[in-house]
Structures are given as structure tokens and as C-alpha cells.
Structure 1
């Protein structure tokens, strides 16, 4: 049987570039080379190319192909592992749809929606999904500190609306810290979301399409050594990630059911990782990642392992679901 040619799209245009490269290399390492013919495809702002045997081969953007030894190579599927733009925000998905090429992540609308924290929360609220109190700002808006604090209280979180890996986030305790935190978030994005502080246990729930069914993975409890689950906590080991979480069976099943409901409600594909805080014993939704980190230490691979699913099986399952 002819091997399927898989383009592992990695890199991107955001601060998450290096994280994506690590994720892409891991996918390449674990793909079954007897079944697939994988290629590392770097998607950068100034060039798109296939990295093959220490050489760079430009991607032909009219059909996402490349030329190797005088022969045109077309792909059967794109394994999208780009965190941030253009992989997670829908831009790559929209392009691939125009060239009629299948890919592993969500369709372009779902990707754009989930990447936009404010819009995603607004869509989910009518479905009964609990969230923090929030306040929205666009670059150039008047900043009314009294109004913000009256809505969300103190302490609060100030976040760049369209950014991942906890870039552009601050925890604010005093009114005089608010303007500086907002300016910091505007360095990452032209939209800001300000959220009330929710006191409680933070958890992360992976959801995957597995053997034809939508399945919630074991829940991970997150205990950050810092003020919140920031970049250092996520990637530099300054946190404890306990899988399965030490919460009760009832709490586990409740948050898993909500994560699956979100996946189905938003009509997602492939996989997702949703973040929640149990505030007053109720799971409150924070955000969702549709292309979560894929290092061996990342949360979703941890959860898959706890469910008895190897990385090889996880990646193969994702490819076969997309090909179908």
C-alpha cells in the first residue's frame, strides 16, 4: 500500500514559534514511517519550506507542493501543529481549504473563534457554560479604571485576547497597576480581555476524536509555583501538573462532560485542551486550545498516556480521522 505523504506544518508567525518547532519534531519522531512519509514543513513569515536532509525546498503556494530531485511532491494531508498564527487562528486552515488539502485541526471558522478568547466566551455563555466576569477593551478605547474594577473586582487578570502560551498576561492587585498591565497586553494584541479572579482548583481537560468517538481524557490538576499558570510554569517546570487530578470522581466527570459539550457545541475536530477553575465547586471555563503543546511533557500527551494511549497511536488516530 502506498504511504500517505504527511506535511507536518510547524513554526508560525508568533512568539510560540519555538514551541511549535519542538511539537512538530516530536510528531515527526513518533509517526510510523512504515505507514507514512512525513516531511517537516516550516511555515514562517518570510518563507515556507520543507526541511529535508539538511536542505530547504520551497513550498509552492498555489497547491502546497514542493519539488524534490526534479519531481513534484504533493501531500495527502497537513498535520497542523502551529501554535498561534497562522495555524491556530484559522488562517492556514482557510488557505488549505482553498487548495483542497485535508488537515488535522479545526476548520477555519472554529479555529478563529476558539483563538479569540472574547468571542469564544460570548458564544458559549448561552449554552450554560460558566465563566469569570469579564470586561473587553480594544486598542484606542478610553480606559475607565473605576468601571473596570466595578465590573471584575480586584485582583483580576488582564490578558491579550488573541495570544497563546500565556504571553501578554498579568495579575493585577491594585488600581494603579491596571494601566501598566493593559499596556503590556496591548503589546501582544490589539484586543484585551480583563477577567475577575476565580479562587479554586485549576484543571485542564483534553478531548480527542478517538476511534470514531469524542472522548475526554483524564483530567490534569495544575498547581503553579507562580502567581498563575504563566509561560515559566507551562514550559520551564515552575508548576506541578498532576494527572489524573486529585479532585473527586464527581468533579472529574462534571468537568469532562463540560469539555466534551464545548467540543461538540463548537463543532471542533481533532483535539482540544480546555482550561477550567473550580470556583465554589463549579467548573468555570477559561479558554480552549485547539492546537495544544505536543512535547512529551505537555499536558495532552500526559493525559493520553494516563488513558493508555501512546503518542504513536495518538498521532496516527488524528491522521486517520482527518483523512476520513
Structure 2
């Protein structure tokens, strides 16, 4: 079976995608799959470079990759692909839409307001949430142009910076607590990972630098674990995820709050999903094989 690892892309997360793609190529079972690296440099490449594939293993991040666009193209071309379908991908990529679905399903998430490019920033309305605040591009990832602000000047400056990367910016109530991530494979949650960044915030550097953060498997207290697992799986069902996804949360005073859902989690050597899978004895190669086989089954539905 010819498996094309789709990487690169046109988003601000291109370099992370290339790293993910290379790691995947290096760890795929070459005895089982004929592996081909496919680097996307422009949008039309997705039409030109995938035609002879039996399966597309997506290593893309950000817009035109994680937002359902590429998934829709591959579906139109009848090429099975990895991970969630176009609808779930689009919903989870849009943080505002994700939160609306979460709230509709009774799932805890921090209060937020949206700021749109071309509209005057209503600072007073934003500040009603109360400082500190988190500013982030609505459809961004990898914590690009994302940060915590504690006053009006910082707020306005970071909003303008984030608007360089997206047409909408989310301003969210800062939840001070312990960050965890819940990796879900085929509707079942793998061991929970606690994220302890060396800085005060799990930013781009913390995520992708060796030693930028301590990421350890943790055993939560039974009651909290049950609450976290129920919430993670509720996110999975509410957003109609399939194959695999990662739910990021913050725990404040024993209460979990969902940050976001990643439908194409990173797969670099520093990434969280392979670490969680390893905790149940699943090698990186086995994880990739599971993703391929589960995706093939999902696309046949």
C-alpha cells in the first residue's frame, strides 16, 4: 500500500508540520507500507501530488491542513486519509465554534469574547471578563501569537499581533491551574499527561524545544480522573471526532476546563500523543499503524 505523508503546507506552522512529517516517515513500517514524502508548498499541490496514493497520512498543521480543507479535497478524490473528517476538523480548528459546541453540551470552558479584523476593538467589553486574559488567533495553533496579558496596553498590542495571523482573535479568561492533555484513540482515552512548562505559559518555545516543558504521565485522583475522562469523551462525541484527537484541559480547584481539541496532534519527538501511547506499551510505529488502519475503517463507512 502506497502511503503518502502529507506535510509542509502554507500556514504559520509549516516548519512544525515538516518536522512532524519527517518523524512519521522515519517511524512508519517500511516492510508494510511503501512510504512517500509529499511536501505541500502551495494549495494546488494537494491535487497534483496525491493522485497515485492508496492512503494519505496527514502531518499538516494550521490552515489548509487542519481545518477540513485538505480532508474535503481528499474525500472528493476518493483517497482515504488519516484522522477526523472535514466537519470535525473545521469545527475544532475554529476555537469560537468549538466553545459554542462545548457550552451547548454542558462542558466547562473559560469565558471568551471575539475580536474581528477591520472592526474597532471594544476594549471595555473585552475587559469585562477581567484580567489576566489570554489572547490567541481563533484558528491558530502551536501557541503562535498567543499570550497572557494583564493590562490594557498589553491586551491591545497582542490583539493586533494576533490579527496578523488570523481574521479573528479570541480573548479568553485566564484559568490558573494545572494543564493536562487527554489523548483519545478510537474513542478510548490513553493515559493523561501533565504539562509543566518551565516558563509561566506553555508557549511555542515550551512546546517545541528540548527541555522547554516537563511532560509526564500522571495518575489523577479517581474522582478527578473520572471527571476528566467523561469530559474528554464528551468533547469527542460532541464534535464528532474519529480515529484520534487530543483534548487539552486546565484543572482549577478540582474542576477541569477544556482549552481546545486538536484533530491533528503533533507527532514530533517532543509531541504528547506518542508519549501517551508509549505509556500503554504502544511504540510510535504501532501508533501510526493503528491510525492508518482505524482511518481506513472510518473512511469505508
> Which residue of the other structure, out of 242, 267, 289, is the alignment partner of 1:316?
289
Task: Please give the per-residue CA displacement for 1:58-85, whole angstroms capped at 9, x wherever unaligned.
Answer: x636xx32xxxxxxxx211100110112
Q: Which moved more, 1:249-258 or 1:290-299?
A: 249-258
The CA distance in 2 between the partners of 1:265 and 1:133, in whole Å, is 19
The CA distance in 1 between the partners of 2:77 and 2:260, in whole Å, is 30
Q: Report matched runs for 1:228-243 at 5 Å.
A: 228-236=201-209, 237-243=211-217
The CA distance in 1 between the partners of 2:191 and 2:238, in whole Å, is 21
> Which residue of the other structure, out of 274, 277, 281, is the alignment partner of 2:250?
277
Name the SS for the 1:35 alignment partner.
coil
The CA distance in 2 between the partners of 1:217 and 1:20, in whole Å, is 23
Task: Please give the per-residue CA displacement for 1:13-43, whole angstroms capped at 9, x wherever unaligned.
Answer: 1121111111111211221122111111111
* Aligned residue number for residue 121 of structure 1: 99
The CA distance in 1 between the partners of 2:197 and 2:31, in whole Å, is 41
* Aligned residue number for residue 197 of structure 1: 174
* Residue 224 of structure 1, CA deviation: 1.5
Q: Report matched runs for 1:86-235 at 5 Å.
A: 86-150=64-128, 152-209=129-186, 214-235=187-208
Unaligned stretches of 5+ residues in structure 1: 50-58, 66-73
* Residue 218 of structure 1, CA deviation: 0.7
* Aligned residue number for residue 241 of structure 2: 268
The CA distance in 2 between the partners of 1:33 and 1:123, in whole Å, is 40
* Residue 96 of structure 1, CA deviation: 0.7
Greater gyration radius? 1
> Which residue of the other structure, out of 228, 243, 249, is the alignment partner of 2:222?
249
* TM-score (ref. length: structure 2): 0.94
Name the SS for the 2:48 alignment partner.
coil
* TM-score (ref. length: structure 1): 0.88
* Aligned residue number for residue 18 of structure 2: 21
Q: Which has the higher contact order (CA 8 A, sep 6+)?
A: 2
Unaligned stretches of 5+ residues in structure 2: none
Name the SS for the 1:203 alignment partner.
strand
Q: Decide whether the 8 Å contact of 2:82 with 2:291 is kept in 1.
A: yes
* Aligned residue number for residue 294 of structure 1: 267
* Aligned residue number for residue 71 of structure 1: none
Q: Decide whether the 8 Å contact of 2:10 with 2:43 is kept in 1.
A: no
Task: Please give the per-residue CA displacement for 1:85-104, whole angstroms capped at 9, x wherever unaligned.
Answer: 21101110011111111101
> Which residue of the other structure, out of 4, 9, 14, is the alignment partner of 1:12?
9
Name the SS for the 1:118 alignment partner.
helix
Higher share of residues assigned strand? 1
Task: Please give the per-residue CA displacement for 1:198-229, whole angstroms capped at 9, x wherever unaligned.
Answer: 111111111111xxxx2101111111222311
The CA distance in 2 between the partners of 1:242 and 1:128, in whole Å, is 29
Query: In angstroms, what is the RMSD of aligned CA positions?
Result: 1.5
The CA distance in 1 between the partners of 2:225 and 2:97, in whole Å, is 26
* Aligned residue number for residue 55 of structure 1: none
* Residue 149 of structure 1, CA deviation: 1.0
* Residue 246 of structure 1, CA deviation: 5.4
Name the SS for the 2:165 alignment partner.
coil
In structure 2, the CA distance between the partners of 1:203 and 1:93, relative to structure 1 (3 Å rule), is: same
